[in-house]
Amino acid sequence: MLTDLQQQPADALLALIKLHNDDPRADKIDLGVGVYRTGRDNTPVFGAIKAAEQILVDTQDSKAYLGPEGDMGFVKALMPYVFGKDSPDMGGRIEGMQTPGGTGSLRLALAMVKRAGYKRIIVGKPSWPNHNQICADLGLGVVEFSHAKADGTTDMDAVRGAIAAAEEGDAILLHGCCHNPTGIDYSHAEWDEIAGLLAESKILPVIDLAYQGLGQGMEEDAYGLRRVLAAVPEALICYSCDKNFGLYRDRVGALYAMVSDPADLAKVMSNGHSLARANWSQPPDHGGAAVRIVLEDEALTAQWLDELDKMRDRMREVRAKLAAAGQTGGVDLSPLGGQNGLFSIIPFTPEQVQAMRSKHGIYFAGSGRINVAGLTMGNIEQFLAAVADVTG
């Protein structure tokens, strides 16, 4: 029977990594892999995380199971940063659990959506490819709407149309900030409007907050999430610490559920626990414990926030440099200055993408998505010259 399985296509990103690694040119540039890089082109371990890991090594006295909910100290410590310090549990309406990374929280959220009887997910296009892939694996229908217009602004007409056309039993997946892959986020006024539209509908919001702190700041990046939660009775929130704590390989995430009646919260979370038990039993402990230690220690929290600020400032510096280049060859790079996070899409043709790789040793996704953190003050002029060459 195993021989009846069909060959699956290779993951495009993994294939891109191999192409880059196999390129012998010393000045090659990797703009494909979705991790933060410093101005020296390395992905560092946060100093605050290093200190927390040492504390963990020195004090941890057991490796016993924690259960499918994971480290609840981590889950609780994160909540004021996500939902606000004044009422992080919204009067007993929000509870959470630890997951293996943001992907684990998304898988769990969408499995809960399916179990609750929802049939379709409304998703902006383009989106992170794994969103649709998880939906397909779970048998959830996907209804797409245009997320952004060609001029680098959000397509609010499409958002309005998608919500207006939604049916009872639909959910909508929204990027909380630092949209992947476009970098194009909703403004505060647009979030206000989206919240109002959702309040008048019967759609369940599923909000993917994978990059908090990498856009405009921890508080600023939570605006849309908090605005929606203040307007609707129920929501699911998928969170990742892989980016804002640099814990990519440790897979640290959380799923939060908000209900209209606190009396329903235990029932909802019991479904999250049973689904987790069937998928991964329980999440890995180390990374979540390290985040908990950081957030429980005032000095380590301050160190983490300072390191996060420096990451964000570096990416904003790169974006400003790209935007200042303006019209470069046949593309306008100025919109990149107003975008957020690790990613942006440059409208390269497939032939231009290939020319950037073969002629200039610059690697990024076929969609034109680049990781701006792969650019440094040392290689950005090389990148701009290559763009001018292949698009001019």
Residues forming a β-bridge with 177:
none
Beta-strand relationship, 235-240 and 204-209:
parallel
Dihedral sign for Cα 117, 232, 130, 45, please: negative
116 within some domain: yes
53 within some domain: no
301 within some domain: no
Residues forming a β-bridge with 252:
100
Dihedral sign for Cα 115, 116, 117, 121, please: negative
Check whether residue 320 and residue 183 sit in a common domain: no
Check whether residue 253 and residue 106 sit in a common domain: yes
Does 208 participate in catalysis according to the annotation?
yes
Instruction: Name the domain count of the chain.
Output: 2
Quote the pTM value: 0.94
234 within some domain: yes
59 within some domain: no
What does the chain come to in residues? 392
Q: What is the pLDDT along the chain (392 residues), one digit of tens a residue?
A: 898 999 988 777 778 888 888 989 999 999 998 899 888 878 899 999 999 999 999 999 999 999 999 999 999 999 999 999 988 888 899 999 999 999 999 999 999 999 999 999 999 999 999 999 999 999 999 999 999 998 889 999 999 999 999 998 999 999 999 999 999 999 999 999 999 999 999 899 999 999 999 999 999 999 999 999 999 999 999 999 999 999 999 999 999 999 999 999 999 999 999 999 999 999 999 999 999 999 999 999 999 999 999 999 999 999 999 999 999 999 999 999 999 999 999 999 999 999 999 999 999 999 999 999 999 999 999 999 999 999 98
Q: Check 30, 71, 128, 221 and give the catalytic one.
A: 128
Q: Check 30, 71, 170, 208 and give the catalytic one.
A: 208
Contacts by 276-279, CB closer than 8 A, 24 or more apart:
276/68, 276/69, 276/97, 276/99, 276/108, 277/68, 279/104, 279/107, 279/108, 279/111
Check whether residue 211 and residue 357 sit in a common domain: no
Check whether residue 272 and residue 321 sit in a common domain: no
- C-alpha 101/C-alpha 179 separation (Å) is 17
pLDDT at residue 257, rounded to an integer: 98
Please calculate the CA angle 51-54-56 and round it to the nearest 5 degrees.
110
Q: What is the CATH number of the domain that holds 155?
A: 3.40.640.10
Does 58 participate in catalysis according to the annotation?
no
Does 128 participate in catalysis according to the annotation?
yes
40 within some domain: yes
Check whether residue 14 and residue 77 sit in a common domain: no
Check whether residue 255 and residue 210 sit in a common domain: yes
Check whether residue 32 and residue 148 sit in a common domain: no
Q: Check 30, 243, 285, 321 and give the catalytic one.
A: 243
51 within some domain: no
Q: What is the CATH number of the domain that holds 326?
A: 3.90.1150.10
Tokens linked to 245: 């704590």
Check whether residue 100 and residue 178 sit in a common domain: yes
Radius of gyration of the chain (CA): 21
- Which secondary structure element, helix H or strand E, spans residue 363, and what is its range? strand 362-363
* Residue 22: domain span: 10-45+312-391
Check whether residue 177 and residue 277 sit in a common domain: yes
3 within some domain: no
Check whether residue 141 and residue 285 sit in a common domain: yes
Check whether residue 102 and residue 131 sit in a common domain: yes
* In 159-314, beta strands by DSSP E: 170-175, 204-209, 235-240, 252-258
